[in-house]
Amino acid sequence: MFALAVVTFLRMGRGRWFRAWPMGLLKGVTLTALLFVFSVLAFAPLMAIAFAGAIYID
């Protein structure tokens, strides 16, 4: 999944998001990693709410 996201960024971004391939690769990896980290952080409260609901349901 990670590799597909980076490859997709490289395919769509030439000329728009980066000029040289090494910088594009670095930017693609960075953006993909940040998206992954923030999606995990956003999912954590949802899991807490779900566990609380499962424990305290009557």
Domain ranges of the chain: 2-55
Answer yes or no: are the C-beta atoms of 25 and 6 closer than 8 Å.
Answer: yes
Answer yes or no: are the C-beta atoms of 28 and 9 closer than 8 Å.
Answer: yes
Helix residue spans in 1-58 (DSSP H): 2-13, 21-55
DSSP letter assigned to residue 57:
-
**Residue 22, pLDDT above cutoff 70:** yes
Identify the band that residue 16 occupies on the pLDDT scale cut at 50, 70 and 90: confident
**Residue 58, pLDDT above cutoff 70:** no
pLDDT at 33: 94
- The beta-strand segments (E) located in the chain are none
pTM attached to this predicted model: 0.69
Mean pLDDT of 17-32: 86
Q: Of 46, 8, 49, which is closest to residue 29 (Cα–Cα)?
A: 8
